[in-house]
Amino acid sequence: MLWINCFITPFLSLCLWAQTPEQQTPETKFVNEALKLMSDSSANYTQAIVYWEKAAKANTQQPLYSYELAYCHYELKQYEKSIEILKKTINKHASLINANYYRLLGNAYDLGGKPDKAINTYTQGLAKFAEAGELYNELGGMYYKQGNNDKAVDYWEQGVDNAPKYASNYYWLAKLYCNSSERMWGIMYAELFINLEPNTHRTLDISTLLANTYQQSLQTNANRLYMFSKTGYKNSLLEDISTPDIPLFTAFEIIAQQLISKQTYTNNSLAAVHLFRLQFAEHWQKQNMDKRFDNVLFSWHNQLITAGHFEAYNYWLLREGNKIQFNEWLSANKNKFGAFIQWITKQPLTINAQNRFGRSTSTKIVTDTK
């Protein structure tokens, strides 16, 4: 589904197709011609089809050529033809294909007006490729489009759990949760997304969302008693921070409430958001929450604070929330920001199966408290 901003792309055009004369195969010239025709914004998919058909005929054991052929038909909105090619390829080369074949097939079904078959295709793909983040992403998108937010969130969170390096599932979770009463999850997914995908148009979108969500959450009024989690606030009426097995969202809300009761965070100020995040990190550690919850983001914050880069990191995260304030800060802190960029370029946040974070894993308790 292209609405989800994760564009289907041809395989071979993403890599350099270069062979020495000794390595060249009968189909090499056809592949090179096809790639040339698909290489810019004025791609000639109709003509490229001719060459992909020749390449596929010259080497019947290479499923990539059939994928590219199906992709060209897909771009020309010839979805039935794309479906026909992909189904044959998947059946014939079951041991050679990957999740992208199911993704393109599912998208062709979806855009061809067959959403049920699209869902079934993505599900079949996941049965074979359980770590394919793009298939969770597409399934979540299908249910979101149908208005079933709960099921959409479920698939996106499964994607976070099973493919923690795949950014798009974090993107959509951030979008949904930041616009809900459980904004705590939204700001965490948003921050993880920016670290995973730091330099795209979607990064700017989520940076704005993250800053706005913090600013909204830090505002107090008589009609809204909770700051980041309505559920956490309700739990806090019955439990305090020392309660055994307290959920993460309740602990987060309690500490946020403690800080906000003692400190006024100026509305629409990036400096105020930085101050809150710094004080929150200090209080989280002071109250030994880092010993109760294994959270990759909070460990990352401690690492940044120790390295002296937390302020620059926060302004980098929130920069699109108020460009004037960010540019004013940057003008006064160019050396500080430059040092941070050098530092994070060398040692970015690493997210993997061992330290992944999601709502389903948020109750993970640190087992070694020594």
User: What are 54-86's pLDDT values in tens digits?
Assistant: 999 999 999 999 999 999 999 999 999 999 999
Structural domains in the chain, CATH included, are: 1-6+26-163 (1.25.40.10), 182-370 (no CATH)
Greatest Cα pair distance, the chain, in angstroms, is: 76
Q: Using 50, 70 and 90 to split pLDDT, how confident is the model at 260?
A: confident
Q: How many CB atoms lie within 10 A of CB 199?
A: 8
- Of 26-35, 74-83, 117-126, 201-210, which gets the smallest average pLDDT? 26-35
Q: What is the pTM of this model?
A: 0.91
CB atoms within 10 A of CB 259: 18
Mean pLDDT of 240-261: 92
Distance, CA of 209 to CA of 174 (rounded, Å): 8
Amino acid at residue number 200: T
Q: How confident is the model at residue 261 (pLDDT cuts 50, 70, 90)?
A: confident
Reference 338, options 368, 312, 358; nearest CA is: 312
3-state secondary structure of 305: helix
The yes-or-no verdict on residue 3 having pLDDT over 70 is: no
Q: What is the pLDDT of residues 179-220, one digit of tens each?
A: 999 999 999 999 999 999 999 999 999 999 999 999 999 987
d(CA 203, CA 179) in angstroms, rounded, equals 17
**Residue 224 backbone phi and psi in degrees, to 5:** -135, 110
Q: Tell me, what's the pLDDT at 245? A: 86
